[in-house]
């Protein structure tokens, strides 16, 4: 059930390998790119669960490794975290022609990608994503970033990895809530551009989430293929890549309105956001109501939140949510940007949505 997905970017092309148990083969996969000491960067939680297996696989191929463990959590993706990592990388002795491995979720992947892009003016790196979100989204496409006081992911660069190794068996140790949050991004691919995949998820999504390796591997591989194809056509988000933000205008605003707290994970925000984006599409006459109902029903059936009322604690105020949308880094001159849908599998980007329509939907 092993799958290999090429990301076609000319001289920056690379492969994504997806299979359960792949960590054991990481040495052989990495070997062609390794030279000298290879820093392996991870967070405390992933270190406890999976680091020793990756180190053993690398050492088996006589690769010299230097583990670097960072504190778990989003706050590691900061200037302070970057400074600590850069120092550790330089101290490790990795050279300009060498390579760095990122083992972890999107936090580790984004930070290591950024550090690899700037240390010694750029060193190669390999992504070994360990969350579902990282396997289907953040490890693919070369966007790297840290958060600053002014907002999330505002400082970073494009730096494509040399290789992505997605071992779907690693997802078994992921807390259910994190797994579901990542699944929102999987469903997003079907919703934004592949009706057949969405139908497949309606039939098999629950099996994938319940630990069936073959179905999860298919879901991850298909998601990666969709992202890889979009990135290959639009690496720097001049156009089509923006469709990957389906559900994210609402989602980001809800995350901001809830203080980026444990009340709402990113993927949960995306799930509510996608449901709202389809509802808005129906209200504006772009999309048929049954499509929107199917989106909501499927997300709900796997256990994801689909409405603002499901966020624990005080309901975020519609006006405050709208204000966050106006400050979204993708908004221009105060005009909101949205990915809306014509039907499941057909989405489009627009700046022509009135604030009134959004307020009415948020208040409903
Ligand atoms: N670069 C991109 O294109 C892109 C795209 C989407 C999201 N992101 C970024 O990704 C980050 C979120 O990523 P995330 O959701 O993976 O968060 P994360 O990296 O914080 O991981 C979530 C939690 O799961 C733990 N964990 C990781 N793998 C595990 C495993 N196999 N078993 C048990 N626990 C495990 C981590 O220690 C952490 O506590 C955000 O910073 C976001 O901005 C980047
Ligand atoms: Zn997302």
pLDDT at position 257 is 95
User: Is 227 noted as a catalytic residue in this protein?
Assistant: yes
How much is the pLDDT for 73?
A: 96
Average pLDDT, the chain: 96
Q: Provide the pLDDT for residue 221.
A: 98
| Band of pLDDT at residue 156, cut at 50, 70 and 90 | very high
- Out of 72, 107, 220, 252, mutate this one to test ligand 1's pocket (max ligand atoms within 8 Å of CB): namely 107
Mutate to test the pocket of ligand 1, among 102, 130, 131, 143 (most ligand atoms within 8 A of CB): 131
Q: What is the pLDDT of residue 330?
A: 75
Looking only at the bridges linking them, the beta strands covering 151-158 and 124-129 are: unpaired
Q: How far apart are CA 277 and CA 158, in angstroms?
A: 28
Closest ligand (CA of 46): 1
Q: How much is the pLDDT for 88?
A: 98
The least confident of 95-109, 250-264, 277-291, 317-331 is 317-331
Asked whether residue 62 carries a pLDDT value surpassing 90, the answer given is yes
Strands 65-70 and 38-43: parallel
Work out the average pLDDT over 217-245.
95
How far away, in angstroms, is 130 Cα from ligand 1 center?
A: 8
pTM score, two decimals? 0.97
Residue 327's pLDDT band, with cuts at 50, 70 and 90, is: confident
Structure tokens at 200: 């497949």
Out of 17, 162, 222, 248, the active site residue is 248
């Amino acid at each position: 059930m092993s799958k290999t997905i090429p990301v076609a970017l000319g001289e920056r092309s690379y492969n994504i390998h997806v299979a359960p148990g792949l960590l054991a083969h990481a040495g052989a996969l990495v070997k062609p790119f390794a030279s000298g000491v290879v820093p392996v960067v991870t967070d405390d939680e992933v270190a406890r669960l999976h680091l020793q297996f990756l180190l053993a696989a690398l050492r088996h191929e006589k690769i010299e490794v230097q583990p670097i463990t960072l504190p778990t959590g989003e706050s590691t993706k900061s200037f302070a975290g970057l400074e600590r990592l850069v120092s550790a990388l330089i101290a490790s002795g990795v050279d300009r022609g060498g390579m760095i491995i990122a083992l972890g979720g999107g936090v580790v992947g984004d930070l290591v990608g950024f550090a690899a892009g700037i240390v010694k003016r750029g060193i190669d790196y390999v992504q070994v994503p360990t969350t579902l979100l990282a396997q289907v989204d953040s490890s693919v496409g070369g966007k790297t970033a840290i958060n600053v006081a002014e907002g999330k992911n505002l400082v970073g660069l494009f730096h494509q990895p040399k290789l992505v190794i997605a071992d779907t068996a690693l997802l078994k140790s992921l807390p259910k809530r994190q797994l579901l949050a990542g699944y929102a991004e999987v469903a997003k691919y079907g919703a934004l551009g592949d009706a057949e995949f969405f139908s497949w998820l309606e039939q098999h999504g629950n099996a994938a989430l319940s630990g069936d390796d073959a179905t999860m591997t298919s879901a991850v591989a298909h998601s990666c293929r969709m992202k890889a194809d979009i990135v290959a056509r639009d690496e720097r988000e001049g156009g089509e890549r923006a469709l990957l933000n389906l559900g994210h205008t609402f989602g980001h605003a809800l995350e901001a309105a809830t203080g980026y707290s444990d009340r709402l994970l990113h993927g949960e925000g995306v799930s509510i956001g996608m449901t709202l984006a389809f509802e808005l599409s129906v209200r504006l006459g772009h999309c048929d109501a049954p499509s929107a109902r199917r989106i909501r029903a499927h997300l709900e059936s796997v256990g994801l939140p689909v409405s603002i009322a499901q966020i624990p604690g005080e309901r975020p105020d519609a006006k405050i949510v709208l204000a966050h949308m106006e400050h979204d880094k993708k908004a221009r001159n105060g005009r909101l940007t949205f990915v809306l849908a014509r039907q499941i599998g057909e989405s489009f980007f627009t700046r022509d949505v009135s604030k009134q329509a959004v307020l009415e939907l948020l208040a409903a």
